[in-house]
Amino acid sequence: MTHLIANPFTNYSSSFISMIPQEILLAALKFYQIDIVSVKDNHVKVQNKFEIEVEDNGLYKLFDDGYVVAPFDDIDELCRFILM
């Protein structure tokens, strides 16, 4: 029997919307099983030497070796990119 896990980040609930962007990011990283190396202020270091800056406007800026790779407003897209 195959069990499918529903992705909680595609259908936004009222409790999800009330979360701050960093909480949303940390929950998404956990859901996608992405290793969190460290969290300091609005910066989260994750596996593969990526760093994510959480901006107040809900954007997530992905860095690789200090250089901006891309800004993401879609948390699923960000996590899938990290896993590539």
The answer to whether residue 14 is domain-embedded is no
Range of the domain at 53: 19-83
**pLDDT tens string 31-42:** 999 999 999 999
More confident site: 58 or 76: 76
The answer to whether residue 2 is domain-embedded is no
The number of domains in the chain is: 1
The answer to whether residue 5 is domain-embedded is no
pTM for the full predicted model: 0.77
Calpha distance 57→13 (Å, rounded): 19
**pLDDT tens string 10-33:** 555 445 556 788 999 999 999 999
Calpha distance 37→46 (Å, rounded): 5
Burial of 78 (0-12, 13-18, 19+ CB in 10 A): buried
Residue 53 β-bridge partners? 43, 61
pLDDT at position 9, please? 54
